[in-house]
Amino acid sequence: MLVILSGVSGAGKDTIKKEIMKRMENIITLPSFTSRTRRKNEQEGVQYYFISKSQFEEKIKKGDFYEFDLHHGNYYGTSRELLNNKIKQGKIIVKDIEVNGTENLVKLLQRDTKIVTIFIRVEKEELKRRLIERGDNIQDIEIRLNRLEYEESKINLYDYVIKNDEFEKTVQIIMTIIENEKRIEDNT
Ligand code: 5GP
């Protein structure tokens, strides 16, 4: 089962994902490839594999990605090989992907793989506060704030929409969704 978490950058997806992985068994995540530069707190191969734009374009040509998207001026993509390997392990994969990538992955994989999509919402002012706190520069903050409207316009594509105004509540709701969806998968 693949659980996709979407929502603008700064909505809290990564922190939620980490918390769920701590509390639930049988959950793994999947690093993406990106051409953006690594942030201070990020390690190679955990959230992302960091490669250059030209290396990314080379991988596109070779067909290495299930989906990729160019946003915030950088490429982001889901590796076919990495995802296939993780699906074979039979675990629950939690992955954060923006709206275009989610739409593409659902189209490509839904016949063979159970996919649950969750959109995490956050108010614009709260988002701004979090991005400043995270240490993003002014330009990056502008780009991410401008993206909010676009991502929200795709909300109808999602199985679940959750407002992340209280971290603990959000984590509890998502854990309940995962447990219920897993039960449904195991009984169908
Ligand atoms: P950030 O630069 O803040 O880490 O991420 C920017 C956006 O890229 C986030 O909305 C995140 O969900 C999205 N993203 C991360 N990995 C992928 C991926 O493999 N494919 C696509 N399409 N988007 C991704």
Sheet strands (E) in 80-138: 92-96, 115-121
Identify the pLDDT of residue 127: 85
Block residue for tokens 């998502």: 174
Give the pLDDT confidence of 155-175 residue by residue, as tens digits: 999 999 999 889 999 999 999
Domains, in order of start, for the chain: 2-186 (3.40.50.300)
Confidence bin at 19 (pLDDT 50/70/90): very high
Task: Look over the chain and give the mean of its residue pLDDT values, rounded to a whole number.
Answer: 92
Q: 1 CA distance to ligand 1 centroid (A)? A: 20
pTM of the model as a whole: 0.90
Cβ of 96 less than 6 Å from ligand 1: yes
Q: 110 CA distance to ligand 1 centroid (A)? A: 20
Q: 40 CA distance to ligand 1 centroid (A)? A: 17
Cβ of 32 less than 6 Å from ligand 1: yes
Cβ of 29 less than 6 Å from ligand 1: no
Identify the pLDDT of residue 17: 93
Index of the ligand 1 atom closest to the CA of residue 48: 16
Q: 42 CA distance to ligand 1 centroid (A)? A: 14
Which of 8, 7, 1, 51 lies closest to 30, judged by CA?
Answer: 1
**Pocket perturbation via mutation, ligand 1, pick of 8, 32, 46 by most ligand atoms within 8 A of CB:** 32
Identify the pLDDT of residue 10: 75
More confident of the two residues 17 and 72: 17
Percent of the chain's residues with pLDDT above 90:
66
Average of pLDDT values for 55-74? 95
Ordered alpha helix ranges (H), the chain: 13-23, 53-62, 80-88, 99-109, 124-134, 138-152, 167-186
Angle between helices 124-134 and 138-152 (to 10 degrees): 150
Give the pLDDT confidence of 102-142 residue by residue, as tens digits: 999 999 998 889 999 999 998 888 888 888 888 888 888 88
Cβ of 12 less than 6 Å from ligand 1: no
Whether 59 has a pLDDT exceeding 80, the answer reads: yes
The H or E element spanning position 24 is none
Identify the pLDDT of residue 72: 78
Identify the pLDDT of residue 103: 95
Confidence bin at 24 (pLDDT 50/70/90): very high
Q: 31 CA distance to ligand 1 centroid (A)? A: 10
